[in-house]
């Protein structure tokens, strides 16, 4: 690992002025309020210090419906830190988890930052692979939550081996079925290749599932109650997409309409389909892949885990220097603990881990 000074992001580099050499952009989903503020402080004091030349991490906040007091606090923080990006038409108010509409808005904003003017209409973005479509600029875009610790040196090494792929979705890959009328998963497998797949919420077996023809729209074509058979999706702790995939999402009218429909459904039923934004991304990518617009390569990174202090299983375990991302760190102390392990090489201590993460269940 680098020393504490090596690879550190220069002070003058900010999210309000992405330089021409930026090749990796990480969007950190965060929220207004004291919890979000504490988590941002923990990230700034830990893994963001690893960022090097051409690597930028920016906190992403939805401003719609935000009160004046919270907006003033965020504006002051943004002026001071220069590491925040706004989603003006997306709301984080009352949402404990990222919504489908916030995820869609992030990929659109990322596309605009790929050397394109902020005034570029979403429908007029260049076709993936066309001249000027992000060439020489941002090559990879990530989405993480503010309870994820990113081992930047390990991520850097992993992404450096993907230059031979054009359309890439990288992260810990799981498998799910999906009901687009309820915006919910209806099956799940965390096993490589989708083994031991378990169906629930009425998810039909593949032989009974709707099989839309290539090119059909993402919503409105599947009869209510029917769901798609299992497909791969990159789970929420860290999702990395190559530039052509980001541009395809941003250009898609269907993705935008789907996200708007998810918001309307949430408002009508008072149910927030928050925890399934990663499955929704997988659904969008599966439609783009089946339509022939993109030939997506899924790269399954198994070194992504939830934090485990005492727990050691397929999903929860203590981090090591080979871990790419650690999820489920709800406190600033949790970020600091993982930083001590991976940067200062402190031995893992179960009791101290539970104390600093604030969660004795782990």
Domain with 169 in it: what CATH number?
3.90.550
Residue 183 and residue 293 in one domain: no
Structural domain harbouring 334:
304-357
* Range name among 92-106, 108-122, 184-198, 253-267 with the lowest pLDDT average: 108-122
* Residue where the block lists tokens 């990230």: 43
> pLDDT tier at 180 (50, 70, 90 boundaries)?
confident
Q: Is the pLDDT of residue 210 over 50?
A: no
For residue 261, tell me if it sits in a domain: yes
Torsion (CA) 212, 213, 219, 220 in degrees, nearest 10: -90
Q: How far is CA 163 from the centre of its chain?
A: 20
Buried b / exposed e across 250-283, counting CB within 10 Å, b at 16+? bbbebbbebbebbbebbeeeeebbbebbbbbbbb
pLDDT, position 274: 47
- Residue 156 pLDDT: 96
The answer on pLDDT for 212 being more than 50 is no
pTM of the model: 0.86
Please check whether residues 99 and 222 belong to one and the same domain. no
**Segment among 7-21, 102-116, 174-188, 206-220 with least mean pLDDT:** 206-220
DSSP-assigned letter for residue 17: B
Say if residue 166 is in the same domain as residue 204.
Answer: no
Whole-angstrom CA distances from 60 to 78, 84, 88, 235 are 11, 6, 10, 18
Q: 269 and 207, same structural domain? A: no
Tell me what the mean pLDDT of segment 327-334 comes to. Answer: 96
Confidence of residue 27 (pLDDT cuts 50, 70, 90): very high
Residues 58 and 106 in one domain: yes
106 in Cβ contact with 228 (< 8 Å): no
- Asked whether residue 64 is domain-assigned, the answer is yes
338 and 210 in one domain? Answer: no
Computed over every residue of the chain, the mean pLDDT equals 82
Supply the pLDDT for residue 81: 94
Domain boundary, last residue among 230, 255, 270: 230
Instruction: Report if residue 12 sits inside a domain.
Output: no
Select from 353, 356, 340 the least CA-distant residue to 308.
353
Flag whether 144 is in a domain: yes
What is the per-residue pLDDT for 179?
A: 82
Residue 222 belongs to a domain: yes
Higher pLDDT: 128 or 32? It is: 32
Lowest mean pLDDT of 1-5, 32-36, 94-98, 245-249, name the range: 1-5
CB 337 within 8 A of CB 358: no
Cβ atoms of residues 327 and 172 within 8 Å: no
Give me 54's structure tokens. Answer: 């051409």
Least reliable range by pLDDT among 40-54, 109-123, 235-249, 305-319: 109-123
Whether 108 and 182 share a structural domain:
no
Q: Does 192 have pLDDT greater than 60?
A: yes
**pLDDT at 297 exceeding the cut of 50:** yes
pLDDT greater than 70 at residue 353: yes
Q: Which two tokens stand for residue 351?
A: 């009791």
pLDDT interval class at 5 (50, 70, 90): very low
Q: Which of 261, 285, 300 is the last residue of a domain?
A: 300
Looking at mean pLDDT, say which of 81-90, 221-230, 286-295, 323-332 comes out highest: 323-332
| Shared-domain flag, residues 40 and 189 | no
The whole-number pLDDT of residue 131 equals 41
Listing DSSP states for 258-322 in one string gives HHHHHHHHHHHHT---GGGHHHHHHHHHHHHHHTTS--PEEEE---EEEE-SS--SSSEE---TT
Q: How confident is the model at residue 262 (pLDDT cuts 50, 70, 90)?
A: confident
Q: State pLDDT tens for residues 111-146.
A: 998 864 343 443 444 444 444 444 447 899 999 999
What's residue 96's pLDDT? Answer: 61
Residues 92 and 66: beta-carbon distance below 8 Å? yes
| 296 occurs within a structural domain | yes
Task: Find all residues with CB under 8 Å of 210, minimum gap 6, and list them.
Answer: 222, 223, 226, 227, 228
Bridge partners (DSSP) listed for residue 233: 174
Last residue of a domain, one of 261, 282, 300: 300
Residue 92: which pLDDT band, with cuts at 50, 70 and 90?
confident
Query: Does residue 2 sit within a domain?
Result: no
Classify residue 13: in a domain, yes or no: no
Residue 22 has a pLDDT of: 87
Q: In this structure, are 181 and 224 located in the same domain?
A: yes
More confident residue, 124 or 151: 151
Question: Looking at the structure, do residues 82 and 159 belong to the same domain, yes or no?
Answer: yes
Split at pLDDT 50, 70, 90, the class of 21 is: confident
Residue 117's H or E segment, with its range, is none
Q: How many domains does the chain have?
A: 3
Rounded distance between C-alpha atoms, residue 122 and residue 110, angstroms: 11
d(CA 361, CA 266): 31
Same domain, 328 and 224: no
Q: pLDDT band at residue 266, thresholds of 50, 70 and 90?
A: low
pLDDT higher for 274 or 280?
Answer: 280
Same domain, 206 and 317: no
> What pLDDT, on the 0 to 100 scale, is given for residue 132?
44
Question: What's the order of all strands across the beta sheet hosting 184-185?
Answer: 184-185, 173-179, 228-234
């Amino acid at each position: 690992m680098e020393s504490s000074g090596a690879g550190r992001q220069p002070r003058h580099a900010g999210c309000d002025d992405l330089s021409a050499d930026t090749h990796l952009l990480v969007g950190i989903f965060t929220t207004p309020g004291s919890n979000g503020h504490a988590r941002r402080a923990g990230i700034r004091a830990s893994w963001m210090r690893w960022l090097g030349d051409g690597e930028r991490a920016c906190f992403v906040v939805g401003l719609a419906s935000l009160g004046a007091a919270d907006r003033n606090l965020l504006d002051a923080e943004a002026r001071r830190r220069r590491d925040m990006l706004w989603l003006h038409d997306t709301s984080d108010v009352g949402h404990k988890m990222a919504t489908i509409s916030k995820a869609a808005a992030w990929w659109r904003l990322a596309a605009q930052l790929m050397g394109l003017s902020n005034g570029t209409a979403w429908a007029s973005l260049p076709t993936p692979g066309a001249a000027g479509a992000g060439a020489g600029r941002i090559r990879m875009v990530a989405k993480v939550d503010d309870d994820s610790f990113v081992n930047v040196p390990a991520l850097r090494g992993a992404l450096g081996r993907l230059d031979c792929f054009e359309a890439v979705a990288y992260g810990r890959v799981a498998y799910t079925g999906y009901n687009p009328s309820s915006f919910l998963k209806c099956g799940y497998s965390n096993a490589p290749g989708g083994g031991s797949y378990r169906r629930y919420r009425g998810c039909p077996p593949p032989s009974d599932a709707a099989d839309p023809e290539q090119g059909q729209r993402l919503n409105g074509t599947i009869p209510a109650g029917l769901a798609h058979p299992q497909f791969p999706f990159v789970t929420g702790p860290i999702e990395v997409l190559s530039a052509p995939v980001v541009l395809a999402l941003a250009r898609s009218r269907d993705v935008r309409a789907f996200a708007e429909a998810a918001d309307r459904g949430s408002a009508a039923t008072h149910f927030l389909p928050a925890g399934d934004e990663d499955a929704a991304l997988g659904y969008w990518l599966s439609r783009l892949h089946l339509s022939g617009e993109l030939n997506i390569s899924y790269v399954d990174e198994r070194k992504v885990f939830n934090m485990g202090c005492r727990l050691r299983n397929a999903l929860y375990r203590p981090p090591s220097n080979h871990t790419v991302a650690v999820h489920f760190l709800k406190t600033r102390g949790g970020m600091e603990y993982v930083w001590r392990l991976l940067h200062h090489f402190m031995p893992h201590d179960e009791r101290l881990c539970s104390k600093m993460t604030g969660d004795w269940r782990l």
